[in-house]
Amino acid sequence: MASSTTHAPVLKQPVKLACVQLAAGPDKTANLLHAADKVREAASAGAKIVVLPECFNSPYGCDHFPSYAETLLPSPPSRDQSPSFHALSAMARDNGVYLIGGSIPELATTTTTGPGESEVKKTYYNTSLTFSPTGELLTTHRKVHLFDIDIPGKFRFRESDVLSPGNKLTMVDLPEYGRVGIAICYDVRFPELAMIAARKGCFALIYPGAFNMTTGPLHWQLLARARAVDNQVYVALCSPARDMSAGYHAWGHSLVVDPMAQVLVEAEEKEAVVVAELDGNKIEEARKGIPLRDQRRFDVYPDVSQGKVNFEEP
């Protein structure tokens, strides 16, 4: 039986969200300037939340991660340590938008001292940075699930050969609008992150990602719609544009899906800025019409959002 429980809206007012689908070449400075142009274009279209793709400042691939990695801690890093950090901050501030800065390769170093010697250990992450409209860093997300797959005869990739995983679930409050959950690419295949974020009040789940030409046509849109229908929230996936001259061929097709799992807007494979308006009434309509939130049987199965969840890096 549906409950008559009254729930506060999770999205306080309508907001336009843009996914910026762009291609990254080998020149980091050029990539950052190009991203700035496209963020400006998204803001001019009325977007107040702008999303960039995974590895937007560099080519995607294990061979590239170390050479493009930037030191992010302590925050704020110097411009020499992290030009991408400062470029993203400026993009958000100059355009007055919340900027979910796709992801960039991150370098973290630790020094251990032994008898008569010290050793510097380098650890690499795939990290997303989110900035406020004033250019303030709001949160970071290190990719939790590393992309290690092997589809015989079609595609093999092992991020864990170079990268280490993050260890927390990431949500961020955007005061005028509400809370969003942020994860990266392969994280979308793990519904637990999405379920927890939705049950903690997120109105949207946002995934910068770079699916390939094998898994993209199979699962990219399917996973976006699945996370939306399971959780009755908006879902945005933002991909790089496809560059067949690069070593990694991204599927593209950045998209935004509504709480009833309908695709609101979707790019093709080329560079594009796609914009959708998110409306809290649509979330409430979905949840009242199909009242999953009041019908879950936690007497039969556990609520994953009430278990041990890391919201901070250990």
Give 191-209 pLDDT, tens digit per residue. 999 999 999 999 999 999 9
Please tell me which residue in 38, 48, 54, 266 is annotated as part of the active site. 54
Task: Give the domains, in start order, of the chain with CATH numbers.
Answer: 15-112+119-294 (3.60.110.10)
Q: Is the pLDDT at 265 greater than 50, yes or no?
A: yes
Please tell me which residue in 55, 185, 202, 238 is annotated as part of the active site. 185
Q: Catalytic: 143? A: yes
Q: Which of 97-101, 146-150, 291-295 has the lowest mean pLDDT?
A: 146-150
pLDDT of residue 157: 85
Which tokens belong to 255?
A: 């998209």
Which tokens belong to 186?
A: 């392969």
Q: Catalytic: 48? A: no
pLDDT of residue 2: 44
For residues 135 and 93, the answer to whether their CB atoms sit within 8 Å is yes
Contacts of 72 (CB under 8 A, 6+ apart): 81, 82, 85, 106, 108, 127, 129, 140
Average of per-residue pLDDT across 233-254: 95
153 pLDDT band (50/70/90 cuts)?
A: confident
Find tokens 């001292």 and name the residue: 113
**Helix 191-199 and helix 215-231, axial crossing angle in degrees, nearest 10:** 30
Q: Is the pLDDT at 84 greater than 80, yes or no?
A: yes
Q: Catalytic: 121? A: no
Average of per-residue pLDDT across 4-8: 79
More confident position, 255 or 74: 255
Please tell me which residue in 143, 159, 269, 282 is annotated as part of the active site. 143
Q: Is the pLDDT at 155 greater than 90, yes or no?
A: no
